[in-house]
Amino acid sequence: MMLEIDAFARDGNDDLLAPTTKERTSVKVECDSIVVSIERRIQRTVIRGGEGDDLLDEGAESAVYEATASVDKGVYLDVLSIFRGTDIQMVDPYDGRTLKVAFKSISFDGGSDLLKMTLIEDID
């Protein structure tokens, strides 16, 4: 399954306080697995002496995407430049929508070439 992410990337040698590039950088990663989790915020009020309780649906939380892939060091470095960039977007691998996201975490095992990423949808 393909994961496509892009951002105004930052080169690994750039100063972290310097502005990012003016062009969007895009990376496509062939993933072994992409898991999406979405939960609803539910508030439960128990009324003492009443007939049960009340549930208040406060809407859906942001989608959390957990992706794993076997990639070489070059792909990892490309993803890392996007991780350090700004205005990160991804194409939802299931419905094709373009989403604004934030990286929660990224990890790379150089021995097994296993890349793990967690991205959170940024709902405006």
pLDDT at 3: 97
CA nearest neighbour of 41 among 54, 59, 55: 59
Q: Which long-range contacts (CB under 8 A, 24 or more apart) does 104-112 make?
A: 104/64, 106/79, 106/80, 108/76, 110/73, 112/70
pLDDT digits (tens, 9 = 90+) for 35-55: 999 988 888 777 776 666 678
- Per domain, the residue ranges of the chain are 2-121
pLDDT for res 40:
86
Query: Which residues, given as ranges, of the chain have pLDDT below 50?
Result: none
The first and second tokens of residue 102, run together, are 């934030």
Q: What pLDDT was estimated at residue 27?
A: 97
How confident is the model at residue 120, as a pLDDT? 97
CATH topology of domain 2-121: Elongation Factor Tu (Ef-tu); domain 3 (2.40.30)
28, amino acid identity:
K
